[in-house]
Structure 1
Amino acid sequence: MSLLRRWFDPIRSSWFYEKPTRQEVLPTEQGLRIYLRLDDVYSYLAVQQLTQLDDILSDALKPLKIIISDTTAEPPNGMSIEEWRNYSLNDAKILANQHRFSYDEEKPEQPTQEALQQAETILRNTPLTGQNFLYLLEDVFHMLWQQQYGKLRMLFVMASKQQKPQHFPERIFDHIPVLESYFEFGGRKYHAVDDLLRLTRRLKQQKLLIDNPIFLINHIEWREHLMSDAEELTEIQAMHPELNLYIALEDPISWLLLAYIKEELADYYNIQLHVFPLSYHGRDFFDWSLATRLSKRTEVKFTPFCRPTADGILKMAQLFYSVAEEQRIEAMYTILEAVWTKGKDLSFKAHLQQIQQELGIEDLVELDVMALLQENDQRCAEKHQPDFPVLELEIEGKRYVFNSLYRVWMIESIFSNVLEQKYKSDNDAELKDAEHLSDEKTKM
């Protein structure tokens, strides 16, 4: 690593962290936009919130601008189109269950091309505006994603015969690539579902809402536990859940989430953690403001840091694999803490030796560390996830795979669902026993 980066990164990161992360006021000239695709399942979830959002928007942001694209962007993380579709359909099911969206849980599938063309014609030709258009938009998405093709066909025939294409400045049909639905406000993008609460906090802070936003009511905030009942906690702890973390060591999100899970969730729920470091993925070119914001919300220390290079990753992994397996979680915590909160460059011999001594390592292991990292890469790729870190939770013989900072809440949600199913099974068993006993008494 260059001397410039080693010395400048800690200074720059500390300065960035201390300055205000929230721009006081974002410009409103462009209004509030939402980008949708008719064949995007996240757009289907997003439109179910639009009438409620429009109700509380101030006049300065009205009308809400709708951009409907017919072009998808490239899937992330090297995923194929089919892998992305399968992932997004399953992920949308999880979001729908958690946040009470309407969704076809039994057999979710992509709308047909004919249905998509009919839906676009309906939306292009309708003279409805404002809330009436938003209600129609939601209805059309329901027809598409719940395979209500008869209703859609009827509306299409009416729209084709009785109406002509309309032109409204707040309703645009475009070819801009859209992977998944997002809002745009003040030059910033917000995921239409995952960032909805962050967006509404911003709008409220700028006094652009006329009422309190109430969205995603089952959202689990950082440092707030979904489960606090002592009996429920004991039951989950007795199940000995395990959590595998596949992390890119140069990614600060890996440090922030590992630290948060270790400090806040692992002991609380008796989770056995396992870490699988990945090879260098170039994620040291990250969104500084996002990492800073996450640090403050999770209350995990961050900066001064020195972003690891590919060479630094190998040294970090060598330290990790040089300790006994049962000590590796603590070792990884110490290594990442040194990089992301003390500005250590582990490709620099003096810094490496300092951490080696702190970990009590006499001699670094003589293994092919790159081969181990590539083996972890392969195992991670088999999970077919679009982002890092990849998390794999095992409890009661079942495995659940999810990813990124946007899905950490799933850990506690899964625990809650496991207990709910257990109680339901226990109640059903008791009911059957009671019915059997009643039948025996009747025979007597």
Structure 2
Amino acid sequence: MSLLRRWFDPLRSSWFYQKPTRQVELSTEQGLTIHLRLDDVYSYLAAQQLPELEEILSDEIKPLKVIISSRTAEPPNNMSKMEWQNYCLNDAKILSKQHRFSFHETPEQPPLEAITQAETILRNTPLRGQDFLYLLEDVFHMLWQKQYGKLRTLHAMASRHHPAQNFPERIFNDAEVLVSYFEFGGRKYHAVDDLLRLTRRLKQQKLLTDNPIFLINHIEWREHLISDAEELNEIQALDPELDLYIALEDPISWLLLAYIKEELANFYNIHLNVYPLSYHGRDLFDWGLATRLSKRTEVKFTPFCRPTQQATYEMAKLFYSVPEERRVEAMYSILQAVWTKGKDLSFRSHFDQIKRDLEINELSTEDIAAKLKQNDILCEMKSQPDFPVLELRIDGQSYVFNSLYRVWMIESIFSNVLEDQYKSENDDSKDEEREM
């Protein structure tokens, strides 16, 4: 690593962390825009919130602009189109259950003919404002609830009675859109995952006329879903196990590992396993996002020295040089040194210091590159679009998810496991009563 980066990164990161993370105001000049695709399942979930959102927007940013694209972007993380499609359908099903969105029990991608009919309906309708958003929601329901008969009828009426309309708040284009997102003040917000962050921003700028209530069962950082002592004991007795696949140069890996270890692992008796991955070039991250996450999770962050490929190799070497039962603690200490003390593990004196701190007498003779590659293969088999990748095992079931946006699933899964157990016990009790 260059001397400039080793010295400049900690100074720059400390300065960035200390400055206000939120601009006083974002520009309202372009209003609020949502980007959708009719064949994007996240757009379907987002469309269910738009009429209510439009209703509480201040006049300053009305009307909500809707841009509907006909073109998707390439799937992330080298996933195939089929892998990405299956992931999205499964993830949307989880989101719909958690936040009570309307969703089909067996969702599938709408056929091209239905997508074309839906676009014609939306192009031709003279409805505007909230009325258009209700129609948009209904059309999405028809597409994703397999109501193709209704869609054909509405398409026939739209084609016969109205020409294509041209309204400035309703645009159709072929810009690449991977998943639905909002745009406000030059910033992008995931349509579902960042909806709470967006509405907090709008409320801060007094651009909402009422309190936004959209994500009903949102789980805040450091607020536990299960606090009842008896229920907590039941989860702990199930010995849950969590595998965490992390890119060592990614600060989100540090923030989530620290949060899970400090806040969830002991609380729920989770056995943690950490699998470091080979270098993925994730040191060019969003500093603002990492800073906001640090403050929300209450996990220390900065001064840091972003690890290079060589540094991540040295980090992995230290990790695999401690006994297996101490490796989670070791990884915590290594990442803590990098992301809160500005240590550069490719710099010999820093490496030797951490080695002493971890009480390592001899470095591992294993092929570290091969170990990292093996972890990469295991991670790729999970077919997830982002890092970190998490696999939770409990009560004979395995659940795979990813990224900071899905950490809430750990506690949600625990809650669902308890609910299923209670339901099973009640069913068994009823069966016994019938036999008597």
Please state which band the TM-score falls in when normalised by the shorter chain: over 0.9
| 1:7 match: secondary structure | helix
Using the TM superposition, give the Cα deviation of residue 378 of structure 1 relative to its aligned residue in structure 2, in angstroms.
0.2
Cα distance per residue 1:152-202 (max 9 Å; x no partner): 000000011111000000000011100000000000000000000000000
Using the TM superposition, give the Cα deviation of residue 133 of structure 1 relative to its aligned residue in structure 2, in angstroms.
0.4
Which residue of 2 is the match for residue 387 of structure 1?
386
The 5-angstrom pairing of residues 7-406 of structure 1 reads 7-105=7-105, 107-406=106-405
Runs of 4+ with deviation above 4 angstroms: none
| 2:361 match: secondary structure | coil
Using the TM superposition, give the Cα deviation of residue 340 of structure 1 relative to its aligned residue in structure 2, in angstroms.
0.2
**Partner Cα separation in structure 2 for residue 329 and residue 228 of structure 1:** 26
Using the TM superposition, give the Cα deviation of residue 118 of structure 1 relative to its aligned residue in structure 2, in angstroms.
0.3
Identity of aligned residues (%): 74
**Partner Cα separation in structure 2 for residue 32 and residue 321 of structure 1:** 49
Using the TM superposition, give the Cα deviation of residue 129 of structure 1 relative to its aligned residue in structure 2, in angstroms.
0.5
| 2:176 match: secondary structure | coil
**Partner Cα separation in structure 2 for residue 379 and residue 99 of structure 1:** 31
Cα distance per residue 1:223-253 (max 9 Å; x no partner): 0000000000000000000000000000000
Structure 2 counterpart of 1:96, one-letter code: S
**Partner Cα separation in structure 2 for residue 367 and residue 9 of structure 1:** 31
Using the TM superposition, give the Cα deviation of residue 366 of structure 1 relative to its aligned residue in structure 2, in angstroms.
1.1
| 1:172 match: secondary structure | strand
| 1:70 match: secondary structure | strand
Using the TM superposition, give the Cα deviation of residue 215 of structure 1 relative to its aligned residue in structure 2, in angstroms.
1.4
**Partner Cα separation in structure 1 for residue 161 and residue 180 of structure 2:** 31
Which residue of 2 is the match for residue 420 of structure 1?
419
Structure 2 counterpart of 1:420, one-letter code: E
Using the TM superposition, give the Cα deviation of residue 42 of structure 1 relative to its aligned residue in structure 2, in angstroms.
0.1
Structure 2 counterpart of 1:298, one-letter code: T
Using the TM superposition, give the Cα deviation of residue 128 of structure 1 relative to its aligned residue in structure 2, in angstroms.
0.4
| 1:215 match: secondary structure | coil
Structure 2 counterpart of 1:93, one-letter code: K
Using the TM superposition, give the Cα deviation of residue 424 of structure 1 relative to its aligned residue in structure 2, in angstroms.
0.3
* Structure 2 unaligned blocks of 5 or more: none
**Partner Cα separation in structure 2 for residue 14 and residue 135 of structure 1:** 47
Structure 1 counterpart of 2:19, one-letter code: K
Using the TM superposition, give the Cα deviation of residue 345 of structure 1 relative to its aligned residue in structure 2, in angstroms.
0.2
| 2:392 match: secondary structure | strand
Structure 2 counterpart of 1:363, one-letter code: E
Structure 1 counterpart of 2:306, one-letter code: R
**Partner Cα separation in structure 1 for residue 392 and residue 20 of structure 2:** 36
Which residue of 2 is the match for residue 442 of structure 1?
none
Structure 1 counterpart of 2:4, one-letter code: L
Structure 1 counterpart of 2:50, one-letter code: L
Cα RMSD after superposing both structures: 0.4
- In the superposition, the TM-score normalised over structure 1's length comes to 0.98
Structure 2 counterpart of 1:259, one-letter code: A
**Partner Cα separation in structure 1 for residue 256 and residue 5 of structure 2:** 25
Structure 2 counterpart of 1:176, one-letter code: A
| 1:235 match: secondary structure | helix
Cα distance per residue 1:98-131 (max 9 Å; x no partner): 00000012x2100010000000000000000011
| 1:175 match: secondary structure | strand
**Partner Cα separation in structure 2 for residue 292 and residue 27 of structure 1:** 22
| 2:138 match: secondary structure | helix
Comparing 336-345 with 207-216, greater Cα deviation is found at 207-216
* Structure 1 unaligned blocks of 5 or more: 438-444
- In the superposition, the TM-score normalised over structure 2's length comes to 1.00
Structure 2 counterpart of 1:282, one-letter code: G
Using the TM superposition, give the Cα deviation of residue 325 of structure 1 relative to its aligned residue in structure 2, in angstroms.
0.3
**Partner Cα separation in structure 2 for residue 400 and residue 217 of structure 1:** 22
Using the TM superposition, give the Cα deviation of residue 217 of structure 1 relative to its aligned residue in structure 2, in angstroms.
1.4
Cα distance per residue 1:322-368 (max 9 Å; x no partner): 00000000000000000000000000000000000000001111111
**Partner Cα separation in structure 1 for residue 284 and residue 129 of structure 2:** 41
**Partner Cα separation in structure 2 for residue 214 and residue 278 of structure 1:** 39
**Partner Cα separation in structure 2 for residue 205 and residue 417 of structure 1:** 34
| 1:217 match: secondary structure | coil
**Partner Cα separation in structure 2 for residue 55 and residue 228 of structure 1:** 36
Which residue of 2 is the match for residue 440 of structure 1?
none
Which residue of 1 is the match for residue 6 of structure 2?
6
